[in-house]
Amino acid sequence: MDYLIALVLGIVQGLTEFLPVSSSGHLEIIKGIFSTDFDPKESLIMTVVLHFATALSTIFIFRKEILQIINGIFSKKSSEEKSFSFNIIVSMIPAAVVGIFFNDIIESLFDGQLILVGFMLIITGILLFFADRAKPTNNFVSTSQSFLIGIAQAVAILPGISRSGATIATSVILGLDKTSSAKFSFLMVVPLIFGKVAKDLMNGNILSEAIDLGPLTLGFFAAFFTGLFACKWMIGIVKSSKLKYFSYYCFVVASITILFKLL
Q: How far apart are CA 14 and CA 88, in angstroms?
A: 22
User: What pLDDT does residue 211 have?
Assistant: 63
Q: How far apart are CA 88 and CA 258, in angstroms?
A: 35
pLDDT band at 207 (very low <50, low <70, confident <90, very high): low
For the chain, where are the alpha helices, taking DSSP H only?
Answer: 3-16, 23-33, 40-61, 63-74, 80-101, 103-109, 114-132, 143-155, 163-173, 178-188, 190-203, 213-239, 243-262
Chain segment 102-135, per-residue pLDDT in tens = 777 776 666 667 888 889 999 999 998 888 887 7
> What is the pTM (predicted TM-score) of this model?
0.79
Highest mean pLDDT among 93-102, 184-193, 217-226: 217-226
Determine phi and psi for 209, rounding to 5 degrees: -80, 140
User: What pLDDT does residue 148 have?
Assistant: 94
What's at 158, amino acid-wise?
L
Q: How far apart are CA 152 and CA 7, in angstroms?
A: 29
The residue count of the chain comes to: 263
pLDDT band at 38 (very low <50, low <70, confident <90, very high): low
Q: Is the distance from CB of 247 to CB of 39 less than 8 angstroms?
A: no
Q: How far apart are CA 197 and CA 206, in angstroms?
A: 8
User: What pLDDT does residue 36 have?
Assistant: 61
Q: 156 in the Ramachandran plot: left (φ > 0), alpha (ψ -120 to 50) or beta?
A: alpha
Q: Has residue 149 got a pLDDT over 90?
A: yes
Q: How far apart are CA 110 and CA 118, in angstroms?
A: 13
User: What pLDDT does residue 26 have?
Assistant: 81
Q: How many other CB atoms are there within 10 angstroms of residue 258's CB atom?
A: 18
Q: What is the largest CA-CA distance in the chain?
A: 62
**Helix orientation angle between 178-188 and 213-239, rounded to the nearest 10 degrees:** 160
Q: Is the distance from CB of 45 to CB of 31 less than 8 angstroms?
A: no
Round the CA-based radius of gyration of the chain to a whole number and report it.
18
pLDDT band at 42 (very low <50, low <70, confident <90, very high): low
User: What pLDDT does residue 226 have?
Assistant: 94
